[in-house]
Structure 1
Amino acid sequence: MFGIICVIIGVVLVGYLIVKRYYAPWSLFLVGFLLISIMAIISPEPLLHGAKTATKSAFFDVIQYFTNQSKSILVGLGLNIMIISGFADYLDKIGATRSMVEIASKPLSYIKSPYLLLALAYIMGQIINVFIPSAVGLGVLMMLMVYPLLISVGCSNVASVACIITMSALDLGPASANSIMTAKLAAISPME
């Protein structure tokens, strides 16, 4: 019961810090660190078990826990999102987006139906989703490359954003989270 009360207080504290305009990621990190520290102090069980336990101190176990979590997140999804966001920013800075829109909008302007263009963009996004399974990464890339193109050929803002958001709605390919979880539960490789 004490754990539930701590979590509720933590959620309220994060909400308060965000309302007071503190930087949200640091607010979440601070409250998360505080909650894990409280758990390490009051829990009779050690925070880390097995080979990942580097210390016997509750304080150092909290640090080791954050280190382990950071390694697993940065190696996986976090690093992919940072790479894709950096690539998207680089493309924008060198003017590749403007150039692509100028070149591609001319032949696409012959297609008079914006719904057909939205459908083609959705299919293209599904194909790219096989290779970029991160919804955030795919969204960043599509907002940079496809959104200005769809706007330039006459699609509405709302329809273009809806098309881009739904591109990652289906889990396709062996790199999607559902494929990996299903493969783990079935004890087979994701490629199978």
Structure 2
Amino acid sequence: MTAIKELKAVARPRAGKGAAREERRAGRVPAVIYGEKQDPITISLEHKEITRTIYAGHFLTSLFMIEVDGKRHRVIPRDYQLDPVKDLPLHVDFLRVSAGAHVTVEVPVHFVNQEKSPGLKRGGTLNIVHHAVTLDAPADAIPEYISADLTGFEIGDSLHLSAVKLPDGVVSALHGDDTLATVVAPSGLKEAEADEAAAAAAAAPAAKS
């Protein structure tokens, strides 16, 4: 089960850009909690704490418990805005998550057993098409990542999402079978193959005559 992390927050009585600027000047980050057919709640978070939490990783796939005015809210972050210059948080959106709910999340892909790929051993290059995939997962069991096994992959082979074993209860949220990566030939091998093909094409007319 996914561990639920605690976040401290205070109610923010006023919404709007002016109120948000006041919160930032006070060293806090404005945020909102919405969803579950309830009215949105405007809150603010301590700047240092939420910055540290975001940059610790897995922020958008983590469950949080936020207490506001004595009421606890079980949420998952859905989006956050960063200052384009300072890369510090400006605003965070949280979605309420009830027990047993499923959520759509983007999860990183870890490509494992690259040393067991004959194609990569021959000098091929792993061309990663998707570093992350969108999954539908139980809110209490969001995977931190999925493992894509490259054992046995030759040059020219492609690894598709359908070949990856997903955790129980987790399915792809996309339509179709995404290509996660391909093993491509090194440039030197490509040139050699092109030269061979050109030589074979040139020899064919001569052989006929």
User: Which category of TM-score, normalised to the shorter sequence, fits these structures?
Assistant: under 0.3
The structure in which a higher percent of residues are helix is 1
- Structure having greater relative contact order (Cα 8 Å, sep ≥ 6): 2
Structure number with larger C-alpha Rg:
2
- TM-score (structure 2 length as normaliser): 0.25
